[in-house]
């Protein structure tokens, strides 16, 4: 072999083209191998990374400068306070929008309830005065409410107080020039009231007489009503928990209280001495003695509302 001849590291048949094809095949195989099998290549990759990292960093800075990223970053830093303020305003507006949507839904529900009550007791013109509850009784045994409305707003003793448009709260017991007191229907001192159980939104069921039970609810017996029995079976449609109870006591109350919502049935029991007769427990949708605002209802052409009976009132 001549002294200046190149050293052959591979057979003559393993020429440059064949070596390139072999390298490509090896790389393709390595590309599809699982990562855990490539641990042997890490010792070659680490020195390469160390060698090209400084140049790569500088090259990245040049590329960002060429694309204008540095100027964009400066502008973003300068605009950060304005962007934060806009973000705060956007969040505030989003919250107000959701709050307004909830209020609209609630108002639609109240309007629907008022319309339904008007359909159940048509032909009556009502005067309604909104009033804020400003205090409760000094005596903890009583649930009397003091509201900001009185003779100055033409409120009369015996006017009906409601919340959320149609939920019965109680009756006005006394009236001053700027305020009046209301006795809630769940106060122990309140007289029994007559109600009617609604089988659904339209159909009326049996009547009932309810009295406060001392737990913020009302309880009483269900009246038997032969007119509600099915002529073929002789049985009445059963009452169920969740049914609404509406007010139906116009003999002792103003007509403006007709068909207001008293609450919903939460318990049904058979009487011990009369298993076929039922007693119910009714819970108001909104606790009458804990409301923050009420609406006082009076019929326009009704004249003075029937005043509460002398024995009805709070604890002296």
Q: Could you tell me if 251 and 230 are in contact, meaning their C-beta atoms sit under 8 angstroms apart?
A: no
Tell me the C-alpha distance between 198 and 209, whole Å.
Answer: 14
Q: Could you tell me if 240 and 265 are in contact, meaning their C-beta atoms sit under 8 angstroms apart?
A: yes
* Every domain of the chain and the residues it spans: 55-120, 126-299
Digit-coded pLDDT (tens) for 36-84:
666 666 666 666 666 656 656 666 666 666 655 556 666 667 777 887 7
Least confident of 66-80, 190-204, 271-285: 66-80
CATH 2.40.10.340 for the 126-299 domain, yes or no: yes
* Residue keyed to tokens 């205090």: 135
Q: Which residue has the higher pLDDT, 163 or 118?
A: 163
Mean pLDDT across 81-102: 86
Residue 14 predicted with pLDDT over 80: no
CA 50 to chain CA centroid, Å, is: 60
Dump strand ranges (E) for the chain.
Answer: 126-135, 145-147, 160-163, 167-175, 180-184, 193-198, 204-212, 218-221, 244-247, 261-270, 278-283, 293-299
pTM (two decimals): 0.61
pLDDT in the model for residue 315: 38
pLDDT in the model for residue 209: 94
């Amino acid at each position: 072999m001549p002294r200046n001849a190149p050293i052959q590291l591979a057979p003559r048949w393993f020429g440059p083209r064949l070596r390139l094809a072999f390298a490509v095949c090896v790389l393709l195989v390595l590309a599809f191998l699982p990562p855990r099998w490539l641990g042997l290549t890490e010792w070659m990759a680490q020195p390469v990374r160390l060698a090209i990292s400084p140049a790569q960093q500088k090259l990245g800075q040049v590329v960002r400068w060429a694309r204008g990223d540095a100027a964009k970053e400066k502008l973003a830093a300068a605009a950060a306070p304005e962007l934060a303020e806009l973000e705060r305003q956007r969040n505030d507006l989003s919250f107000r929008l959701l709050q307004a949507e909830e209020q609209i839904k609630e108002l639609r529900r109240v309007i629907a309830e008022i319309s339904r009550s008007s359909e159940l007791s048509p032909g009556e013109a009502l005067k309604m005065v909104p009033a804020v509850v400003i205090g409760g009784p000094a005596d903890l045994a009583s649930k009397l409410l003091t509201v900001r409305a009185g003779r100055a707003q033409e409120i009369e003793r015996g006017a009906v107080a409601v919340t959320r448009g149609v939920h019965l709260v109680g009756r006005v017991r006394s009236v001053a020039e700027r305020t009046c007191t209301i006795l809630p229907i769940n106060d122990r001192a309140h007289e029994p009231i007559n109600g009617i159980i609604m089988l659904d939104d339209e159909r009326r069921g049996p009547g009932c007489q309810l009295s406060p039970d001392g737990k913020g609810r009302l309880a009483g017996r269900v009246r038997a009503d032969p007119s509600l029995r099915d002529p073929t079976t002789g049985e009445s449609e059963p009452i169920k928990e969740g049914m609404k109870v509406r007010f139906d006591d116009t003999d002792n109350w103003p007509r403006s209280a007709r068909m207001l919502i008293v609450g919903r049935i939460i318990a049904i029991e058979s009487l011990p001495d009369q298993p076929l007769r039922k007693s119910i427990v009714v819970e108001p949708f909104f606790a009458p003695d804990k409301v923050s605002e009420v609406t006082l209802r009076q019929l326009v052409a009704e004249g003075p509302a029937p005043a509460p009976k002398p024995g009805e009132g709070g604890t002296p």
